[in-house]
Structure 1
Amino acid sequence: MSLFIPLFALVLEENVFLTIGGTQAIDIILPALARSDANILLPRPGYPQYDSRASCCLLEVRHFDLLPERGWEVDLDSLESQADENTVAMVLINPSNPCGNVFTYQHLKRVAEIARKLGIFVISDEVYAHVTYGSNPFVPMGVFSSIVPVITIGSLSKRWLVPGWRTGWIATCDPHGIFQKTGVVKSIISYLEITTDPPTFLQAAIPEILGKTKDDFLSKNLNILRETANIFYDLCKEIPCLTCPHKPEGAMCVMVEINFSQIKDIVDDMDFCAKLAEEESVLLLPGVTVGLKNWLRISFAVDTSNLVEGLSRIKAFCLRYAKMP
């Protein structure tokens, strides 16, 4: 028997484990890997739940960089330099939250080859799978499981727009059976057995949702995101002191750099966001919270009129603090 997961074709039922959203999947996988002196490689910028959960289960966190000037590709040299004999895995988020990029097939294959060289496996966070609207199509990391074992995290909340349902999954893609041999699957099952499960009526709805959602529903959502991404990218160019190095191609957010040489009386990204909230009632996430100080994480998954108004307020704020020539 098999369950259709749109992340990578058909996956055997015994390799799929339902979770209460993607967050619980993280909360289960990381403790399953924890052991004395172990470390895990996380992207910078990245999703802060990984850092928080790793610290709770005594996994040492090491960060590899993503390169804004190269469309947020993995800095492969940085990745290799952080690994040692105690590294158990690396995390890759694709499409990326918070960067909004989508990795190419060629780049993902290179990451898989380096992970094999380092003797580690890949945790592929794909909760935004298929939420892409740029030139790069979504490629599931499981495609490269013959090169390196892959654990995929998936979720209904993003593509199907049901965040309150808290329904996700862990899927192992491991044709060589390495997860079974090393006890990773056994550890995941052990943690699942002492945690709660998604509500049964939501579990019953999953086959209908995955198999019968009409294409026009999904394409309509992508068209909306494509429009808001374009609006954001174009209007951001008009805001002094802010630079968006890469037009978003996937997910629902983007990273923007603050140029402090062009503004006064603001000391860092925290200060920027605090003043902006107080003076313009616009809430942005300081980049330091996702690992990149003096940047901003901005979501554009809002009504277009609200997006335009919000960017107008950010522009007014930046002009008010701009250094005079």
Structure 2
Amino acid sequence: MLDSLPKDKSLAANGCEDKTWKVVASSAAKNCKNYIRDIVDNLALEPNRDKAVIALSLGDPTVYGNLKPSPETVQAILEAVQGGVCNGYGPCVGTDGARKAVANYLSFDGVNFEAKDVILCSGCSSSLDLCVTVLADPNKGHNIIIPKPGFPIYRTLAESLGVEVKTYNLLPEEGWNIDLLHLEAQIDDNTAAIVVNNPSNPCGSVFDESHLKDILEIASKHKIPIIADEIYERLVFPETRFVSAASIDADVPILICGGLAKRFLVPGWRMGWIVIHDPVGAFDPDIRKGLASLSQKTIGSNSLAQGALPAILKLTPQSFYDDLVNILYDNAKLTFEALSNIAGLVPYMPEGTMYMMVKIELEHFPEFHSGLDFMQRLMEEESVFCLPGECFGISEFMRLVITIPSELIQEACNRMSEFCGRYYT
């Protein structure tokens, strides 16, 4: 067509106006927001140049190099690489051997899964993405209900799809259990799913069997499926027992999300899973097919990690898990004791995971108008960085990680003591 135009005439002269480029991002891109980055990037974080930065903010347990995967995990990935048979594409939902390994690993406390119940994903965040996408439809005005405080990825995933997000409160004075009355009040005819994070990030809390039963009773009453974020499964401290939502005798369909990242200390390997627990057949066949279809977007998860998965899950000794829990528990006790002696701070002893929530009694720090102000000045003066509670939807709190070496935890607590001592009134 263009070749046939007269050589001496422009496009405009032939009825084709010259237009400027108008390439705009989609609504999905515009709605996708990392709430932690959105808050942190707007802080003027300049550390004290005379003090080395101590980062108590990162949920990556590998950052300081003191926590390493088990030798069995390392050997399994080496064998997957050297074997040369895990370099190509596999089924989008995962290989049969890897899916069976996950099913066996999670079959405990009277629950029995099969390989067909497992879909492998690119990390637990990918698992959550698929679950939200398969259950919540923005064209139907759906909403999902998430915990507050809670990990912000739930909001990021839902809002990028155009799905409304509602929140239910966790109660610090009750060990961060769910405010059940508030949860039920948030449910309406458009609620597509309730997200339950147990053990909890950021709170470090672990729901007992009785509380889980109460949660599932509400879900059963309103016929709302559960998305159970159990990435910290069994990463609980002595005298605390992890109870999976799937082990509760209830007629509630549940999509369980987990992976290798935390308990096995390999978050960068991007190996997550969804396990379908459906005692009433509510997910058959539509949701099961939907999850399989959605998994085609990434064309499967990491093939090397899949190849190593059976050996990792079968051969990692209990002593590795116990040692990790003991390190985290000792760090939690150290942090809790140190912060309990600082006027103006109220730490909440976790029952598991890798985190601790600390209340900032701002009424005793009139210099600061918010937790964000407090955290910014703490970084500027003491080079200690924690995530402000605003990152998790709650003000006047901060979240600390307890994965770093104990000597750095002690140093960070000493600096926080000095900082609070300067401003406490």
Q: 4+ residue runs of structure 1 moved beyond 4 angstroms?
A: none
Do structure 1's residue 116 and structure 2's residue 220 form an aligned pair? Answer: yes
Do structure 1's residue 86 and structure 2's residue 86 form an aligned pair? Answer: no
Q: Rg: which structure is higher?
A: 2
In structure 2, the partner of 1:64 is 168
Do the aligned partners of 1:146 and 1:176 also contact (CA within 8 Å) in 2?
A: no
Do structure 1's residue 26 and structure 2's residue 128 form an aligned pair? Answer: yes
Residue 279 of structure 1, CA deviation? 1.0
Do structure 1's residue 228 and structure 2's residue 228 form an aligned pair? Answer: no
Aligned partners of 2:386, 2:163: CA distance in 1, in Å? 30
SS in 1 for 2:127: helix
AA aligned opposite 2:366: K
- The C-alpha deviation readout for 1:44-65, integer Å capped at 9, x for no partner, is 0001000111111111111000
TM-score w.r.t. the length of structure 1 is 0.95
Aligned partners of 1:135, 1:86: CA distance in 2, in Å? 40
SS in 2 for 1:257: strand
Do the aligned partners of 2:251 and 2:279 also contact (CA within 8 Å) in 1?
A: no
SS in 1 for 2:399: strand
Do structure 1's residue 237 and structure 2's residue 336 form an aligned pair? Answer: no
In structure 2, the partner of 1:199 is 302
Residue 5 of structure 1, CA deviation? 4.6
Do the aligned partners of 2:216 and 2:250 also contact (CA within 8 Å) in 1?
A: no
C-alpha distance 281-5 of structure 1, shift in aligned 2 (>3 A): farther
Which of residues 289, 294, 297 in structure 1 aligns to 2:396? 294
Which of residues 262, 267, 289 in structure 2 aligns to 1:163? 267
Do the aligned partners of 1:34 and 1:58 also contact (CA within 8 Å) in 2?
A: no
Aligned residue pair count? 321
Aligned partners of 2:311, 2:256: CA distance in 1, in Å? 21
TM-score w.r.t. the length of structure 2 is 0.73
AA aligned opposite 2:312: I
Greater RCO (CA < 8 Å, at least 6 residues apart)? 2
Residue 8 of structure 1, CA deviation? 3.9
Aligned partners of 1:127, 1:196: CA distance in 2, in Å? 22
What CA RMSD, in Å, does the superposition of the two structures yield over aligned residues? 1.3
Aligned partners of 1:142, 1:273: CA distance in 2, in Å? 39
In structure 1, the partner of 2:105 is 6
Aligned partners of 1:5, 1:259: CA distance in 2, in Å? 46
Do the aligned partners of 2:104 and 2:113 also contact (CA within 8 Å) in 1?
A: yes
SS in 2 for 1:239: coil
Q: How many percent of aligned residue pairs carry the same amino acid?
A: 36
Aligned partners of 1:5, 1:306: CA distance in 2, in Å? 38
Gaps of 5+ in 1: none
Aligned partners of 1:146, 1:67: CA distance in 2, in Å? 24
Do structure 1's residue 210 and structure 2's residue 313 form an aligned pair? Answer: yes
Do the aligned partners of 2:231 and 2:258 also contact (CA within 8 Å) in 1?
A: yes
AA aligned opposite 1:13: A
AA aligned opposite 1:232: T
C-alpha distance 123-5 of structure 1, shift in aligned 2 (>3 A): farther
- The C-alpha deviation readout for 1:268-294, integer Å capped at 9, x for no partner, is 011111111111111100101101111
SS in 2 for 1:220: helix
In structure 1, the partner of 2:365 is 263
C-alpha distance 8-64 of structure 1, shift in aligned 2 (>3 A): farther
In structure 1, the partner of 2:92 is none
